[in-house]
Amino acid sequence: MSGISKSSRNVLNRYTAEHFTGDTLRDKIARAVCEAECLPRKEFYESWESAKRIRRQMRGGPILELAAGHGLLSAILIIMDDSSASAMCLDIKRPPSHDRVLAALVKHWPRLEGRVEFVEARLEDAEVLPESLLVSVHACGVLTDQVLDLAITHRTRVAVLPCCHDLRQCDTGGLAPWMDGPLAVDATRVAHLRQAGFRVQTALIPEEITPKNRLLLGWPE
Ligand SMILES: C[S@@+](CC[C@H](N)C(=O)[O-])C[C@H]1O[C@@H](n2cnc3c(N)ncnc32)[C@H](O)[C@@H]1O
């Protein structure tokens, strides 16, 4: 793969599959997603890069993907590491891309069959199983805070890639005069998790995919 923009919102399709000819897991997954012909390139890269960093640190347990949209993150997490038996994708609306992407992936990874489910529900009504791994990519504004609060309430591991920081609703921790507002919100989220007794790690996915690239990982202690 070379020379294509990773932040493009163009849909991956049978023609763009020619950019992913390698023998790597990333290219294999990308080719399957190209067959589904429904996912913007940027969303593939966001899911892939987040999943890679999450799986370096967090294995096993049922996955609960919140504000999941297409839910590609869940599928990649299981493909990368079979130690999570199942994933539940939750979103208020099940997009058609979920079924299409999953069907394409199951064709190449039959072991995914029946292991990624989708529930149409509000985040506030999420059912959290013991030992869950809560994940969310680009849950807008305060939705990310709701994901973190769920993790705090249920004492579960959590990984979020926040976006659309709403400076009226999200807590800037009084840091806004010192730093960029969205950074103040994410720094305050780190402090909040630590205060709640979590060990926290921060990471970045490549900025060429999205400027909303801060990944926050937390473990209850
Ligand atoms: C920016 S999209 C992110 C989707 C996907 N995670 C991704 O990376 O492409 C935000 C998602 O949040 C969902 N959403 C909005 N409000 C929600 C709520 N109260 N509970 C659950 N999902 C919600 C939307 O339907 C949308 O799919």
Q: How far is the CA of 92 from the centre of ligand 1 (A)?
A: 7
pLDDT, tens digit, for every residue of 161-201? 999 999 999 999 999 999 999 999 999 999 999 999 999 99
Q: Which of 91, 124, 138, 149 to mutate to test the pocket of ligand 1 (most atoms within 8 A of CB)?
A: 91
Q: Is the confidence at residue 84, as pLDDT, over 60?
A: yes
Distance CA(2)–CA(155), nearest Å, equals 42
Give the pLDDT band of residue 33 (cuts 50, 70, 90).
very high
Is 13 domain-assigned? Answer: no
Q: Residue 129: inside a domain, yes or no?
A: yes
Give domain status of residue 36, yes or no.
no
Could you tell me which residues are beta bridge partners of residue 64?
88, 134
How many structural domains compose the chain?
Answer: 1
Neighbours of 197 (CB within 10 A): 12
Question: Could you tell me if residue 22 is inside a domain?
Answer: no
Question: Mean per-residue pLDDT for 100-118?
Answer: 98
Residues with a CB atom less than 6 Å from ligand 1: 43, 46, 67-70, 91-93, 122-123, 137-140, 143
* Closest approach atom of ligand 1 to CA 47: 8
CATH number of the domain that residue 59 is part of? 3.40.50.150
pLDDT of residue 164: 93
Per-residue model confidence (pLDDT) at position 194? 98
Tell me the pLDDT tens digit for each residue of 34-62. 999 999 999 999 999 999 999 999 999 99
89 domain-assigned = yes
The answer as to whether 149 is a domain residue is: yes
Give the chain as a 3 state SS string.
CCCCCCCCCCECCCCHHHHCCCCCHHHHHHHHHHHHCCCEHHHHHHHHHHHHHHHHHCCCCCEEEECCCCCHHHHHHHHHCCCCCCEEEEECCCCHHHHHHHHHHHHHCHHHCCCEEEEECCHHHCCCCCCCEEEEEEEECHHHHHHHHHHHHHCCEEEEEEECCCCCCCCCCCCCCCCCHHHHHHHHHHHHHHHCCEEEEEEECCCCCCCCCEEEEEEEC
Percent of the chain with pLDDT over 90: 98
Average pLDDT value for the chain: 96
Asked if the structure places residue 3 within a domain, the reply is no
What's the pLDDT at 4? 84
Burial class (CB in 10 A: 0-12, 13-18, 19+), 66: buried
Res 2: pLDDT? 52
In a domain, 35, yes or no: no
Here the tokens at position 204 are: 């970045």
What's the domain range around 53?
42-220
Q: What are phi and psi of 217, to 5 degrees?
A: -120, 135
Q: Is the pLDDT of residue 1 over 90?
A: no
Q: Which long-range contacts (CB under 8 A, 24 or more apart) does 188-191 make?
A: 189/144, 189/145, 189/148, 189/162, 189/216, 190/216
Beta bridge partners of 88: 64, 117
| pLDDT-based confidence at residue 71 (cuts at 50, 70, 90) | very high
**Residues 2-29 pLDDT 10s:** 578 999 999 999 999 999 999 999 999 9
